[in-house]
Structure 1
Amino acid sequence: MIDMRNIALTFLGCFTILAACSNSDDAEKPVTPVPTGDVTIYATTSSLTRDLTRDAVNFSSKDNLAPTSITLNPTEQYQTMDGFGAAITGATCFNLLQMKPEDRHAFLTETFSDDKGFGFSYIRISIGCSDFSLSEYTCCDTKGIEHFALQSEEKDYILPILKEILSINPSIKVIAAPWTCPKWMKVKSLTDLTPLDSWTNGQLNPAYYQDYATYFVKWVQAFNAEGIDIYAVTPQNEPLNRGNSASLYMSWEEQRDFVKTALGPKFKTAGLATKIYAYDHNYDYSDIATEKNYPGKMYEDAAASQYLAGAAYHNYGGNREELLNIHKAYPEKELLFTETSIGTWNSGRDLSKRLLEDMKEVALGTINNWCRGVIVWNLMLDNDRAPNREGGCQTCYGAVDISNSDYKTIIRNSHYYIIAHLSSVVKPGAVRIGASGYADSNIMYSAFENPDGTYAFVLMNNNEKTKKITLSDGKRHFAYDVPGKSVTSYRWAKSE
């Protein structure tokens, strides 16, 4: 029996994905006609009877009397969307570069192309190493900021993949974060300024705030020189996590002072438009009482707040309702969701368990709580969850897993599906809009108006059985039999 998530990395005609089999290179495959109609639909069931299957329906000419009708309200507007995507780590790039160039380009086209693929539109990368890099390093490991330089991981892995992605989708947004500062900038604690020669733990010596801000500037400029625009940064990945293989503890006071006295001013002086987002960690602030409301405390300092576009969150602890709490308290500040993982601890490869849970908690749940973007962790790991680093996550799966026996056979996991369902219909610059009508505790959705005037709608049906849902934009309507245990995405043009 063929696993429906094994895909041949080839586009045949318009957006046709075929199940991979052992003789996939030896025979011509028929081109499946793309369904046409007024409304474009993508559907995935947790059992994969539909696997990002493209469908279409036409508007109805009958009066809309359906009790299961949901009506969009474009006048009720919320946040503007920046995009959806995944992290391009050293491990991801290593695996991609093991593929045949034509297979890799087909997969990246399927993933990132707006007209030939699913249109992933946001990428997260590390500044220096992460726990999924091929080694532990920063871009200035010799003491003295004059020694800054991009390293082999950027030159040989990250930049080539980013450039290939940008050749497919030039409008991709890139956000970056460091896992650690250079070790020569670290101390054991701010009360004990003893130097700390360790990739893990430690704090940033305030004496090096200016040098470290210069490090950020040089890094952004180095990527700009390679044709990679850095849309945004965070000062530190998981600032309350002391235990990652590469990590740096940074309290809200430290981050506030670093941003307002060094990073913000240095960006401004250098003329960089790169946004700065605070925090970049869990909803529960690692249950440290003094760190509760971490970004909010930074916003309350006007000198720091002027440099902060908003805050970024992960979901390894706490509840996504914290997003709504922060938005209500600081509505002028933006929110991003920048990391989540699947792994052996949460049935990461079992789509029947993960698809709907991740759609609820990671995708629709964060968007409906004001996030402008949703980014999952590694785009690609191999079937042994590698490459990974000792001290980092060795139990994580990628958004996709590639077989290390052939570097061709790919299994798509829940994180790929949830991002594809968003990015395929919701485009950067879209505005989330209101929708109301039929209510069911097992149904969750978000509605949008795209910059080109099309409407987008993403719906999760956690019921066991099919539900006929009618969608209306106030002028026209259509009905669709939404499969049980599924995610469906819709896009259609406004009436003139």
Structure 2
Amino acid sequence: MFSKKFSIFIIGLYYIPQLIPSRKVSNTNGHDCVAKDFGQDSTVCVCNASYCDTIPLIEKLNSSMYVKITTNKDGLRFHKEIGIVEVIENKASYSDIVINVNASVEYQAIHGYGGAFTDATGINLASLDGKVAEQIMKSYFGIEGIGFSLCRVPIAATDFSTRPYTYLENEDPELTSFSLQEEDYQYKIPYILQALNLTNNNLKLISSPWIAPLWMKTIASYAGSGTIKEEYHPTATWAKYLLKFLEEYEKQGIDYWGITTGNEPSLALYPDAIQSTPTVAWTSADMQKFIKDHLGPTIENSSYSTINLIALDDQRGYLPDLNEILNDSAVNNYIDGIGIHWYQDWYESANLLDEVHNRYPNKFLLGTEACSGSTVIDLIFNTRVLLGSWQRAEDQAKDIIEDMNHWVTGWISWNMVLNTDGGPSYTSNFVDAHIIANITANEFYKQPAFYTHGHFSKLVPPNSKRIQMILQANNNESDVVSTAFKKPDGGIVITVLNSSDKTLDINIIDEDLRIIETVTPNSLSTILYWKD
């Protein structure tokens, strides 16, 4: 899809896990975390059939009080403390961090936060005892979980399947033999339906294609640089294939809020000999034509005309290429949003997000995929899964905050559940996840990133709006980032990431109200209050 040269990015540290006995970390909410140290810089929380930590809803407080929720490197997980809001006249402050809040200035509305229903997620859930799998589902979607509200579903196989498969293996341009596969019926549909039930159907779903039938592609490989054959363009065969997926899932009681134009077409920039992830390649010009002549009209003229069509679904660095796609008014009218992945955010400026928003203010920006453990260093040193890594949790929290501060409306992690190897993956593309299942022990581990993600998915519900927040760091405290939201019920949410190894004083000022607090070293803190 893109003319830009690809680059291989390297981030990571070499860790040697050591198993250390478990301990119980006390907090003030729900069931406590049973912590276990695997020799990383923090700990995991262990769950099994009979016990799992929980996170109750935060009840609305009167305007004289606030609540601070803390997750940190030292082992606190959603630790709750209640404080008193001050009424002030003199706004002078000598705190390390001053945050001035103006809730009357609103920015983007939030669509939600969540993860992906991959085959690997379903396979690991099905490999555990039913009660253990239920604990995982409740942890993500239950009322005492972290409140996932926006999830992604692959169309057929990904690299996190046990085999490459499509819904139409034999050449059939009329799609008469289109058929969902056993992976859909065993590993996706049952868990999606369970999540819908746990959320009272308050779960938005986005579908994304990775893989196309070989008979449709210009090369006989699921991966590599192949695209859709020209002969299938006049009949819009690929677009109708994607529509057929929506139809078949609707028959199973599952509707989709969005569909993307295709996962990471930039993968086709890698040499075919080394690229193993299934993909369909597109140049920007071809993608423009595909949306204009095939995908857009096919969806528009179907019963799914209100579904959100999401372009890009790739790295932030490719956002400039959207100009070539969206400069056609017909294409622009078909596209509702723009999906971005996080894997190159460490060197691609967030200003690109501002530029896209300013150019296309009626298109929402959405983080559609993120995970840790995918770098070359992780491959070399086998650090795809790091049980208890705070650094990975902190990296993801920082990325979410940065995205939110630059017009992004939600953030979806990759696999929700992986095994201790970081799979299964038929391409051996093992990575990390928020929950790691130990199938042999019939238990699972909630990574620190599970909780830092939860600070957004649970505490910033859909239809919240980002609000103006100005952070002033005194004494050269540069390791703090923050963002702020107004919830639908009027609650003000201030999220503060302290990446330093020091306890810092913070002073939140909102008109004539002041909250004086501290944030612990290497922590993510959320302060929540209501003004009426």
What is the TM-score with the length of structure 2 in the denominator? 0.81
What's the counterpart of residue 269 of structure 1?
A: 301
Answer with 25-34 or 265-274: which moved more.
25-34
What's the counterpart of residue 477 of structure 1?
A: 514
SS across alignment from 1:270: coil
Q: CA shift at 1:14, angstroms? A: 6.4
What's the counterpart of residue 391 of structure 2?
A: 353
SS across alignment from 2:409: strand
CA 1:123/1:217 → structure 2, altered by over 3 Å: closer, same or farther? same
SS across alignment from 1:487: strand
Rounded Cα–Cα distance in structure 2 between residues aligned with 1:284 and 1:400:
29
Residue type matched to 2:207 in 1?
A: A
Q: CA shift at 1:119, angstroms? A: 0.8
Equivalent of 1:239, from 259, 265, 270?
Answer: 265
Q: CA shift at 1:303, angstroms? A: 1.2
Q: CA shift at 1:267, angstroms? A: 0.9
1:402-438 CA deviation, whole Å, 9 max, x = no partner?
Answer: 2121231314143x23321111211101111101253
Q: CA shift at 1:277, angstroms? A: 1.0
CA 1:29/1:421 → structure 2, altered by over 3 Å: closer, same or farther? closer
2:428 counterpart of 1:404: no
Residue type matched to 2:114 in 1?
A: G
Rounded Cα–Cα distance in structure 1 between residues aligned with 2:48 and 2:499:
38
Equivalent of 1:203, from 224, 227, 241?
Answer: 227
Equivalent pairs counted in the alignment come to 472
2:429 counterpart of 1:393: yes
What's the counterpart of residue 164 of structure 1?
A: 194
Equivalent of 1:282, from 311, 315, 326?
Answer: 315
SS across alignment from 1:66: coil
Instruction: Among all aligned residue pairs of Structure 1 and Structure 2, give the percentage whose two residues are the same amino acid.
Output: 24
Equivalent of 2:371, from 330, 341, 344?
Answer: 341
What's the counterpart of residue 180 of structure 2?
A: 150
Q: CA shift at 1:329, angstroms? A: 2.6
What's the counterpart of residue 311 of structure 1?
A: 338
Counterparts of residues 24-423 of structure 1 (less than 5 Å): 38-48=65-75, 50-60=76-86, 65-68=92-95, 69-113=98-142, 115-144=143-172, 145-169=175-199, 170-188=201-219, 196=220, 198-209=222-233, 210-242=236-268, 243-272=275-304, 273-285=306-318, 293-317=320-344, 318-321=347-350, 322-343=352-373, 345=377, 349=386, 351-360=389-398, 362-390=399-427, 392-394=428-430, 396-414=431-449, 416-423=450-457
C-alpha contact (below 8 Å) 2:100/2:510 kept by paired residues: yes
C-alpha contact (below 8 Å) 2:31/2:52 kept by paired residues: no
CA 1:275/1:5 → structure 2, altered by over 3 Å: closer, same or farther? farther
1:428-454 CA deviation, whole Å, 9 max, x = no partner?
Answer: 011111012533422111111111221
C-alpha contact (below 8 Å) 1:238/1:282 kept by paired residues: yes
Q: Report 1 or 2 for greater relative contact order, CA contacts < 8 Å, sequence distance ≥ 6.
A: 2
1:235-269 CA deviation, whole Å, 9 max, x = no partner?
Answer: 11001212233112111112111111111111111
Rounded Cα–Cα distance in structure 2 between residues aligned with 1:30 and 1:217:
40
CA 1:211/1:24 → structure 2, altered by over 3 Å: closer, same or farther? closer
Segments of structure 1 that go 5 or more residues without pairing to the other structure are 189-195, 286-291
What is the TM-score with the length of structure 1 in the denominator? 0.87
What's the counterpart of residue 191 of structure 1?
A: none
C-alpha contact (below 8 Å) 1:335/1:372 kept by paired residues: yes
CA 1:326/1:408 → structure 2, altered by over 3 Å: closer, same or farther? same
Q: CA shift at 1:40, angstroms? A: 3.1
C-alpha contact (below 8 Å) 1:88/1:378 kept by paired residues: yes
Segments of structure 2 that go 5 or more residues without pairing to the other structure are 1-19, 37-44, 269-274
SS across alignment from 2:406: coil
CA 1:463/1:66 → structure 2, altered by over 3 Å: closer, same or farther? same
Residue type matched to 1:208 in 2?
A: Y
